[in-house]
Structure 1
Amino acid sequence: MEFRIADTFTDALARLAANEQKAVKTTAFDLQMDPSSPGLSFHRIDNSKDANFWSVRANADIRIIVHKTAASMLLAYVDHHDKAYAWAERRRIEAHPKTGAVQIVEVRERVVEVAPQLPFGAPIVASGAKPTKAPIFKSLSTDDLLAIGVPEDWLADVARATEDRFLDIAGHLPAEASEALLEYAATGDLNRPAPARPADPFAHPDTLRRIRVVENAEHLALALDYPWDKWTVFLHPSQRAFVGKEFSGPARIAGSAGTGKTVVALHRAARLVETTPNARLLLTTFSDPLSRALERKVRILVGPDSRVIPSISVASFQGVALDLFQLAFGHRAHVATEDRVWAILAEVSSTISVSEFSERFIRSEWTNVVDAWQVNNAEAYGQVPRLGRKNRMSVKQRDRLWPVFEAARAALLSQGLMTWSQIFGKLTGHFAGRAEKPFTHIVVDEAQDLGVPELRFFAAIASGGANALFFAGDIGQRIFQQPFSWKALGVDVRGRSATLKVNYRTSHEIRQAADRLLPSVLRDVDGVEDQRKGTVSLFSGPEPIVALAPDENAELPTIVDFVKQALADGIAAHEIGIFTRGADQLPRARAVVKACGLSALELSGRGDDPAGRMSVGTMHLAKGLEFKAVIVMACDDEVLPLQSRVEAVADEVELDEVYETERQLLYVACTRARDRLLVTGVAPGSEFLADLKLPI
């Protein structure tokens, strides 16, 4: 007898308390070892339309729902007694008549959340009535719907679904059907999969999305300890195309927050290693915490003992640079802090007569031109691109200013210090002319936060062959770097760039509100467009709340009520995140946690255990994270955008850049929310909140 486990079981298991999970896991092992053991208490689910559903007692109130036949045992669901039975009574497990995939189908007549069912083929509206919105799938035939896996029970509901009603239906459909319909709604293209009817329905690719065979106790332990992150392990068809596609040069995928760019990066990395002899692949992202998260996901994806693991190096941009620097030059690089660089610039500026240039301008010129482009002499300074900078500077002005930067470079060198740009630059020079490169392939996540030095560095340490460079990122989440031309640095992704459209992580309502913060089309310096219009979410949820208070004290109870309601609805403390614009506002966030009677997990690079604690951090630390409920608080006037950044700009174009990245920072924080979002501030509040609110 084959022993199988469904994602509905592991998802339900993750929602139980720790002691309940322990009892369930013990019973699951007993079922696998000897399903006929007299100690196991099986009871048939009499009210289910599927005669193969049984319940198994895990403790006094917890029941495991199994689907038992002569050939197999499937762990299908687990919950408290009444909820477990109700789940089984509303479902059946069967092979789809058209696709052949095994599906866990909700029995339509027992679903009350959706409008009453009408016969398939009946008029969509009564005679003489006018529909408020047209059905979005009216041009699809019955054969079209069956071909993508819509169960027969649900054909009529899908045929009548409007844009507003479809999200109510989508959650009741098998994943392959709802995803294909969402893609059709977004693009107008129906992805009819190639026929795949293996002799064993459980071997069908769509079955394997939700049900896996568990061969032994070790495999079962892994499945129970690592509940499926289905968006990491399984791919939407629109994503799958980019995993295996051959690219003659550098390629990039874009997409708004939650569309699965990281998923594609993970799967592409694994595939490149599996299909390339002697592959040495680097999977990288901009921060250490995110690189650790990527490493965990790689291990879940390929398995802890896979031969793939040794061929994949996972590190942050700076982490891989430090490792290669020591290998290349035999010593560690000593990194200059920003404060130290500013002190050196101030010191040398005071000894060189450049009073016509403000300290603010000198810092900006160093950061965005001299250090970023690794300008090392006056001639190069005269020729360096000044993309996006209003102050063009005459030859005489550059000649007067260059000695400041030359002296600053010399001072850093004399102190044995290097900026990150200098570290990346030195490594680029070391590897650029060498035939043997450290990596055959590089896959970059969060690529929108690559700067000039980093991009040059990665281009220099990859083999340069087909599929050598792959980037995943969202221009709308760029919060660290100024825009620049990738093409000018020899990394041309034109013609090898695409945008993902299906959002897996964020509810329709939150995504729709957050999208109002950004233009519908974002375009990089090289003209590559990210068409954000037409993105759709897989699920619906409550409308996000934007609330302004007369003062900080009045802001507190609104947030506390939001948190307590989330906790009462079953959202755990570690599934709630609170973000502020900067560290100065964090005491207000800590006061919320204290008022809720909880403890705070201060977000950092340490990777602390979040169990039982609410996460608190700045918006910059929100990158790459996900919570069921998010509070973005202290969005006050002069806090967002941050007044000190506005006052520090030395260039009109830089001011536009500050406003753009501050707006994108709010977008990043809001899109960390899966189901619930609260945004608060002291009146009149940030000017960005007017865009976030629902239009009247």
Structure 2
Amino acid sequence: MDFLIADTFTDALARLPAQEQKAVKMSAFDLQLDPSSPGLSFHRIDRSKDPNFWSVRVNLDIRIVVHKTEASLLLAYVDHHDRAYAWAERRRIETHPRTGAVQIVEVRERVEEISHALPAVEEPASPPTSTPLIFAGLTTDDLLSVGIPEDWIADARTATEDSFFALAPHLPAEAAEALLEFAATGILKKPTATQPADPFIHPDAQRRFRFVENQAELAAALDAPWDKWAVFLHPSQRTMVERSFSGPARVAGSAGTGKTVVALHRAARLAAGETDSRLLLTTFSRPLAASLERKLRVLAGPESGVVPRITVAPLREVASELFQLALGRKPHVVADDALRALLVRAAGTTASPAFVLSEWQHVVDAWQIDSLEAYAGVPRLGRRNRLGARQRERLWPVFEKVRASLSERGLTTWPAILAKVAGHHTAQTEKPFSHIIVDEAQDLGVPELRFLAAVAPSGGDALFFAGDSGQRIFQQPFSWRSLGIDVRGRSLTLSVNYRTSHQIRTAADRLLPTTVRDVDGVEEERRGTVSVFEGPIPAIELADGEEQEVARVATFIREAIAAGIVMSEIGVFVRSPAEMPRARRLIAAGDLRAYELSEQGEDAAGRLALGTMHQAKGLEFKAVVVMACDDEVLPLASRIQGVADEVELEDVYETERHLLYVACTRARDRLLVTGVQPGSEFLKDLATSRS
């Protein structure tokens, strides 16, 4: 007999107190070991429309709802007696006649008994002409093809833009997502018809049901039921996790679509499939790497042999360690301020400091140019200044002086470290890693990509990237293909947003173009992205002064806590360290407890998080405040003053928009964006719908 768990069971389990969860888990283990044990008390739920629903007693009041057939036993739900029975009486589990996927279907007439949000279907009234039927052009066959249960067809036909979000939670996930995407784009994506021998292995069934082979798997699934991503995958995610690629591959998508989930599952799958694998899971920051490592341990389980095969570390830490192994010494990296001073001093009156700094960062150091001849032939993609031979001859001595000064002091730069390691491993047949997976890959630069290409083996499944071009905040665009990393034909954009409410996502999306296209022509379409839940409209407010702003933010946080959001689920972000004092004043004014995000990766421990927008990358919170969004803070005035040409100015504006987008999309349910009058020019876009 197959043993399965449903996402509705893990969701319900997570809502119970710890002691009740423990009792439920013990009963679940007993059910898996021997469902026919005399100690288990099964009772048929007579009022249910599904004859296969039974209850199993956990204690005096807690009941597990199971779906029992000759072939399978499914843990479907758990709650106190009356609520557990009510859940089962309003549902049935069946195979959809068109798609072939097993679904948990709400019984339409039973839903009417408990909700007045939905219209009656016996005599559907025509709504006013001012509220058009958004699915009026779809046929019954169209609606069935995307998995809508037959008894919900009439509701879909009469749905308006206002009523659809009341309808969507009652539909199976694949049906709600298909209709959401149709409402957003006008395109109904019909899945490929498939009728598997076992309807539980249909891709859409696997997003809500999981086969459990043994007690260790069940323990891993139940130990952290709130981490739904660790158990259930969307079909588009599963495709990228399980597919073998002939070369480098990339998963893209807007914030909250599950790119990191794909990266984690793919890492675990590759490591589990090869006992001698040496897999690197890497990203940019220490806090994000620490978060990845925690999630990997949840996914793999405490007793898994997978985790030791995976190195989880920030990219620069990996490069530093490989540098020491290859050259036998520790690199000493020049501080940013010291490097800037060297460049300005060496430049003198040859060129403006802004241009020299930019040319060093984006051309000379990035490409590790070591001669005038190499400087003459380096690609200048994205640089408006087309330097002639004489201009390069005049500039090259400046960069030679800087290189000599660094060498005399025993100092180096991160691009130089990456280049040294890449040069060493390019000639080696034995590579340090068998597979490399990169999260937040949109911020990889030329040195990082060269490094990754050198330390990864050739062949399929060696390199996998997860990233969103709309969140690029560090690097100027350049061609990956020119460096030998070509993801064309091996790139997929995810479009279902699980983390961010519809209201927050649509507001944040106004900061970005609807389509993002990289230098190699790989396109990310953002218009089809849909969120699977609703929430409050984001608040965007400008204060007359800093103290008024701080008071408003303190009120927002107290309201969030009163609504049941714990402090560790709240994040407060500012543009740069210069604005952090204002955020710290908030803590004192609101009598709050907080910790500041840092490279050390502190534990939240019941405190809210304070940090810069850069530190927000990859994190998520139920409530987020983005404060100090003032004029000349966003975009940052010092960045604008330091640009070398018009193209760089455009890039500064673009990456500053991306920063605000990143900060806003850390929020799941509640978002407050504040500043002091007149405020950042970007706030108008955030608050105004596109025409």
Cα distance, 1:359–1:31 mapped onto 2, change above 3 Å:
closer
SS at match of 1:28: helix
Q: Do the aligned partners of 2:100 and 2:195 also contact (CA within 8 Å) in 1?
A: no
Moved more, 159-168 or 646-655: 159-168
What is the aligned partner in structure 2 of residue 259 from structure 1? Answer: 257
Distance 1:86 1:334 in 2: 65
How far does residue 82 in structure 1 lie from its aligned partner after superposition? 6.8
Distance 1:496 1:97 in 2: 33
How far does residue 57 in structure 1 lie from its aligned partner after superposition? 6.5
What is the aligned partner in structure 2 of residue 115 from structure 1? Answer: 118
What one-letter code is carried by the residue in structure 1 that aligns with 2:261? V
1:620 aligns with 2:614: yes
What one-letter code is carried by the residue in structure 2 that aligns with 1:14? A
Distance 2:489 2:29 in 1: 51
How far does residue 612 in structure 1 lie from its aligned partner after superposition? 1.9
Matches within 5 A, 1:1-40: 5-16=5-16, 20-30=17-27, 32-33=29-30
Q: Do the aligned partners of 1:252 and 1:472 also contact (CA within 8 Å) in 2?
A: yes
Distance 2:64 2:243 in 1: 40
How far does residue 432 in structure 1 lie from its aligned partner after superposition? 1.9
Distance 1:45 1:590 in 2: 55
What is the aligned partner in structure 2 of residue 653 from structure 1? Answer: 647
What one-letter code is carried by the residue in structure 2 that aligns with 1:557? A
Distance 1:219 1:108 in 2: 35
How far does residue 676 in structure 1 lie from its aligned partner after superposition? 1.5
Cα distance, 1:207–1:659 mapped onto 2, change above 3 Å:
closer
1:454 aligns with 2:448: yes
How far does residue 627 in structure 1 lie from its aligned partner after superposition? 1.2
Cα distance, 1:436–1:687 mapped onto 2, change above 3 Å:
same
SS at match of 1:313: strand
1:488 aligns with 2:482: yes
Cα distance, 1:675–1:82 mapped onto 2, change above 3 Å:
farther
SS at match of 1:628: strand
How far does residue 105 in structure 1 lie from its aligned partner after superposition? 2.9
What one-letter code is carried by the residue in structure 1 that aligns with 2:120? Q
Q: Do the aligned partners of 1:593 and 1:614 also contact (CA within 8 Å) in 2?
A: no
What one-letter code is carried by the residue in structure 1 that aligns with 2:237? Q
What is the aligned partner in structure 2 of residue 336 from structure 1? Answer: 334
Q: Do the aligned partners of 1:24 and 1:58 also contact (CA within 8 Å) in 2?
A: no
Q: Deviations over 1:527-568 (max 9, x none)?
A: 332222222222222211111111112113322332232222
Distance 1:573 1:91 in 2: 36
Q: Do the aligned partners of 1:279 and 1:311 also contact (CA within 8 Å) in 2?
A: yes
Cα distance, 1:298–1:182 mapped onto 2, change above 3 Å:
farther
What is the aligned partner in structure 1 of residue 138 from structure 2? Answer: 139
Moved more, 449-458 or 26-35: 26-35
Select which of 633, 636, 645 maps to 1:642: 636
Q: Do the aligned partners of 2:65 and 2:84 also contact (CA within 8 Å) in 1?
A: no
Distance 1:496 1:75 in 2: 37
What is the aligned partner in structure 1 of residue 563 from structure 2? Answer: 569
Select which of 403, 411, 417 maps to 2:411: 417
Distance 2:583 2:572 in 1: 7
Q: Deviations over 1:408-436 (max 9, x none)?
A: 21222232222110001111111223333
Q: Deviations over 1:256-311 (max 9, x none)?
A: 11122222333334444556785443332222222232233334334444454444
What one-letter code is carried by the residue in structure 1 that aligns with 2:121? L
What one-letter code is carried by the residue in structure 2 that aligns with 1:452? V
How far does residue 181 in structure 1 lie from its aligned partner after superposition? 4.1
What is the aligned partner in structure 2 of residue 445 from structure 1? Answer: 439
How far does residue 170 in structure 1 lie from its aligned partner after superposition? 2.2
What is the aligned partner in structure 2 of residue 683 from structure 1? Answer: 677
Distance 1:613 1:165 in 2: 38
Q: Deviations over 1:607-637 (max 9, x none)?
A: 3332322111111111011111111111111
Cα distance, 1:197–1:425 mapped onto 2, change above 3 Å:
same
1:389 aligns with 2:417: no
Cα distance, 1:529–1:147 mapped onto 2, change above 3 Å:
closer
1:195 aligns with 2:189: no
1:429 aligns with 2:406: no
Moved more, 227-236 or 451-460: 227-236
SS at match of 1:470: strand
Cα distance, 1:124–1:611 mapped onto 2, change above 3 Å:
farther
Distance 1:480 1:166 in 2: 39
Distance 1:440 1:131 in 2: 59
1:671 aligns with 2:670: no
Q: Do the aligned partners of 2:247 and 2:487 also contact (CA within 8 Å) in 1?
A: yes
What is the aligned partner in structure 1 of residue 237 from structure 2? Answer: 239
What one-letter code is carried by the residue in structure 2 that aligns with 1:9? F
Cα distance, 1:77–1:11 mapped onto 2, change above 3 Å:
same
Q: Deviations over 1:354-392 (max 9, x none)?
A: 314233332222212111111112222222222222333
Cα distance, 1:637–1:361 mapped onto 2, change above 3 Å:
same
What one-letter code is carried by the residue in structure 1 that aligns with 2:135? I
Distance 1:451 1:136 in 2: 45
Q: Deviations over 1:163-188 (max 9, x none)?
A: 55433322222233334444555543
Q: Do the aligned partners of 2:50 and 2:91 also contact (CA within 8 Å) in 1?
A: yes
Q: Normalising by the residue count of structure 1, what TM-score does the alignment of the two structures yield?
A: 0.88
What one-letter code is carried by the residue in structure 2 that aligns with 1:136? F
Q: Do the aligned partners of 2:252 and 2:493 also contact (CA within 8 Å) in 1?
A: yes
What one-letter code is carried by the residue in structure 2 that aligns with 1:471? F
How far does residue 194 in structure 1 lie from its aligned partner after superposition? 1.3
Aligned length: 680
Distance 2:158 2:580 in 1: 49
SS at match of 2:465: strand
Cα distance, 1:14–1:491 mapped onto 2, change above 3 Å:
same
Distance 2:354 2:389 in 1: 20
Select which of 287, 291, 294 maps to 2:292: 294
Q: Do the aligned partners of 1:517 and 1:692 also contact (CA within 8 Å) in 2?
A: yes
What one-letter code is carried by the residue in structure 1 that aligns with 2:12? A
What is the aligned partner in structure 2 of residue 600 from structure 1? Answer: 594
Cα distance, 1:217–1:380 mapped onto 2, change above 3 Å:
closer
Distance 1:78 1:273 in 2: 34
Distance 1:315 1:667 in 2: 25
Q: Do the aligned partners of 1:6 and 1:75 also contact (CA within 8 Å) in 2?
A: yes
What is the aligned partner in structure 1 of residue 312 from structure 2? Answer: 314
SS at match of 1:534: coil
Distance 2:591 2:147 in 1: 47
Moved more, 95-104 or 367-376: 95-104
SS at match of 1:171: helix
Q: Normalising by the residue count of structure 2, what TM-score does the alignment of the two structures yield?
A: 0.88
Cα distance, 1:224–1:238 mapped onto 2, change above 3 Å:
closer
Distance 1:265 1:137 in 2: 39
Distance 1:430 1:690 in 2: 50
Q: Do the aligned partners of 2:133 and 2:157 also contact (CA within 8 Å) in 1?
A: no
How far does residue 233 in structure 1 lie from its aligned partner after superposition? 3.8
What one-letter code is carried by the residue in structure 2 that aligns with 1:442? I
Q: Do the aligned partners of 2:66 and 2:77 also contact (CA within 8 Å) in 1?
A: no
Q: Deviations over 1:417-467 (max 9, x none)?
A: 221100011111112233333334332221110011001111122222234
1:584 aligns with 2:578: yes
Moved more, 686-695 or 148-157: 148-157
What one-letter code is carried by the residue in structure 1 that aligns with 2:561? L
What is the aligned partner in structure 1 of residue 457 from structure 2? Answer: 463
Q: Do the aligned partners of 1:448 and 1:477 also contact (CA within 8 Å) in 2?
A: yes
Distance 1:232 1:32 in 2: 19
Cα distance, 1:596–1:466 mapped onto 2, change above 3 Å:
same
SS at match of 2:331: coil
Q: Do the aligned partners of 2:155 and 2:167 also contact (CA within 8 Å) in 1?
A: yes
Distance 1:248 1:43 in 2: 53
Distance 1:69 1:117 in 2: 32
